[in-house]
Amino acid sequence: MYAPSIFDDRMMNNFLDDFFGKPVSALNRMANPMRTDIVEKDGVYTMSIEMPGYTKDQIKAELKDGYLTVSASAGTEKEQKDDAGKVVYSERQFGACRRSYFVGKHLNEQDVKANFENGVLKLEFPSEEKKPAEEVKRVISIG
């Protein structure tokens, strides 16, 4: 039998929805904006990182000591004044996110291909360490 409780998720979600004017699920998405999918196919890893609300210019990817670090930051300021020039509304929003992934020390920045489209950053890189080409000995006959 179900007994209602003040700690029930549905009650808390409704309270937060009413108080903040946003669904709780939207708050959860804002708390973790870098959901990541990684797929390996034919020796290539493809990472898809959700980065909603950011533009290509606000995103930075770095490779150091085997770690691929993706970060983004953005900020906006809004201000409205009345006819007399007094501020009646002012709002500032700033956000940043950062996440690191161990991809292997064998990679360099030329191995990683990046593309950003529709709020998703896609990164591709080889899944295996490159093996140095074996030098084949060729014997030269002396006549």
pLDDT tens-digit series, residues 11-31? 444 544 444 444 444 444 455
Residue 127 reports pLDDT greater than 70: yes
pLDDT of residue 53: 83
**Average model confidence (pLDDT) for the chain?**
77
Residue 87 has pLDDT above 50, yes or no: yes
Per-residue pLDDT at 135: 64
pLDDT tens-digit series, residues 68-86: 999 999 888 888 888 888 8
Region label for 136, one of left (φ > 0), alpha (ψ between -120 and 50) or beta (otherwise) = beta
> Above pLDDT 70, what percent of the chain?
67
Percent of the chain with pLDDT over 90: 39
Q: What's the pTM?
A: 0.61
Q: How many helices (H) and strands (E) does the chain have?
A: 2, 7
What is the rounded CA–CA span in Å between residue 97 and residue 120?
14
In SS3 terms, 50-84 reads as ECCCCCHHHEEEEEECCEEEEEEEEEEEEEEECCC
| Tens digit of each residue's pLDDT (9 = 90 or more) over 21-71 | 444 444 444 556 689 999 999 999 999 999 988 899 999 999 999 999 999
Rounded Cα distance, 133 and 130, in Å: 9
CA angle (36, 40, 44) in 5-degree steps: 110
- Considering only the C-alpha atoms of the chain, give the largest distance between any 2 of them, rounded to a whole number of Å: 101
Per-residue model confidence (pLDDT) at position 45: 94
What are the structural domains, with CATH classification, of the chain? 1-30 (no CATH), 32-126 (2.60.40.790)
